[in-house]
């Protein structure tokens, strides 16, 4: 994965979670193996826009996750 900020939370991020453009938020609970990945896609960190990139699990190859994130960031 490219060097970017990563945060891990037990709840999904909201507009109150200010982070730099390209920050990855991993939303997981300890009850199961799956987790959701959100990406902050607004260049203005004080007005974050978190987009759900999908639901993954421990069997998901990191390269697959990286390519989804990279592709989304290239759209802008």
Convert the pLDDT of each residue in 36-70 to its tens digit: 999 999 999 999 999 999 999 999 999 999 999 99
> Are the C-beta atoms of residues 38 and 22 closer than 8 Å to each other?
no
Instruction: Report the predicted TM-score, pTM, of the whole model to 2 decimal places.
Output: 0.91
Q: Which residues of 16-50 are buried (b: 16+ CB within 10 A; e: fewer)?
A: ebebebbbbbebbeeeeeebbbbbbbbeeeeebeb
Q: Using the predicted structure, report yes or no on whether residue 1 has a pLDDT greater than 50.
A: no
pLDDT band at 76 (very low <50, low <70, confident <90, very high): low
Q: What is the pLDDT of residue 4?
A: 81
């Amino acid at each position: 994965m490219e060097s970017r900020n990563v945060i891990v939370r037990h709840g999904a991020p909201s507009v109150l979670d200010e982070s730099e453009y390209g920050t990855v938020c991993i939303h997981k609970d300890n009850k199961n193996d799956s987790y959701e990945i959100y990406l902050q896609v607004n260049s203005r960190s004080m007005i974050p826009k978190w987009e759900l990139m999908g639901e993954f699990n421990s069997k998901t190859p990191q390269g697959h996750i990286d390519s989804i994130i990279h592709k989304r960031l290239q759209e802008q």
